[in-house]
Amino acid sequence: EAGVTQSPTHLIKTRGQQATLRCSPISGHTSVYWYQQALGLGLQFLLWYDEGEERNRGNFPPRFSGRQFPNYSSELNVNALELEDSALYLCASSSSTLYGYTFGSGTRLTVV
């Protein structure tokens, strides 16, 4: 069974540009979660999508947005990039019957 896949693995952008990160959940999982992990430690919750709808949002500005497609894959968009957006962005998927999440390996975003 394929795990959660994220692309690209690494992304380098210039301040002010837009970044698009992608996530494919495990087959059968309808929920996708996005997290930002800066400085290699704490997880900051960004967004939760389930069945194509945004269910919850963390304390991030509106320039962080996303969507979930009919096949349950998801996209995270970050507009007007700032230097402090440099971080590892992790995607996780789950189903309502599953205890816990399955994570992808992340996208390392570097803003220069």
Partner 1 sequence: GNSVTQMEGPVTLSEEAFLTINCTYTATGYPSLFWYVQYPGEGLQLLLKATKADDKGSNKGFEATYRKETTSFHLEKGSVQVSDSAVYFCASRDSNYQLIWGAGTKLIIKP
Counting Cβ atoms within 10 Å, is residue 11 exposed (0-12), middle (13-18) or buried (19+)?
middle
Number of residues counted as binding partner 1 (CB under 8 A): 23
| Pairing assessment for the beta strands 43-50 and 31-37 based on DSSP bridges | antiparallel
- Binding status of residue 49 toward partner 1 by CB under 8 A: no
The helix/strand/coil state of 85 is helix
**Which region among 21-29, 62-70, 76-84, 87-95 touches partner 1 (by CB under 8 A)?**
87-95
Residue number with CB closer to partner 1 (93 or 111): 93
Contact predicate 11/19, CB 8 Å: yes
Binding interface with partner 1 (CB under 8 A): 4, 31, 33, 40-43, 45, 48, 55-56, 90, 92, 94, 96, 99-106
